[in-house]
Amino acid sequence: MAREQGRKLIAQNKKARHDYAIDDVFEAGLVLQGTEVKSLRQGRASLVDGFVDIDRGEAWLHGVHIPEYSQGTWTNHAARRKRKLLLNRVEIDKIERRVTEKGLSVVPLSLYFLDGRAKIEIGIGKGKKSWDKRQSLAKRDAQNEIQQEVGRRLKGMRD
């Protein structure tokens, strides 16, 4: 059987970028059981309630929902168990230092396969207030309007 090449997206946490101002992004591997990998290959996962916790020098992913494998037997996994993240010691220390010192949060952004291996992209960010969210939405809408107007002018169309 041929090895997978490239990146295959499984799940994305769009709400995380809306709720948090993401500063740093890290890529981490996941320690998974066999049925979890099979369930992920079917494209089933949810990152909505997920967060990362550093405990005794190890990074753990909590609250991510990977549903049970449909053809699994008694060896099936628990859907919301905590999963260990594979990061370098330097990365773990950097994350732990920033979270404790500045009160930031670590949230999962996307879950994907990279060359056949399950990876997760985590981001360190500060929670946005409601006015921050409105401000970023207004900025995005203004950028979209500018792009549309530029496109119209390039095509020679006028209002």
Q: Give 18-28 pLDDT, tens digit per residue.
A: 788 888 899 99
Give the pLDDT band of residue 77 (cuts 50, 70, 90).
Answer: low
The residues near 80 (Cβ < 8 Å, ≥ 6 apart) are 63, 64, 65
Q: Read off the tokens for 101.
A: 């010192």
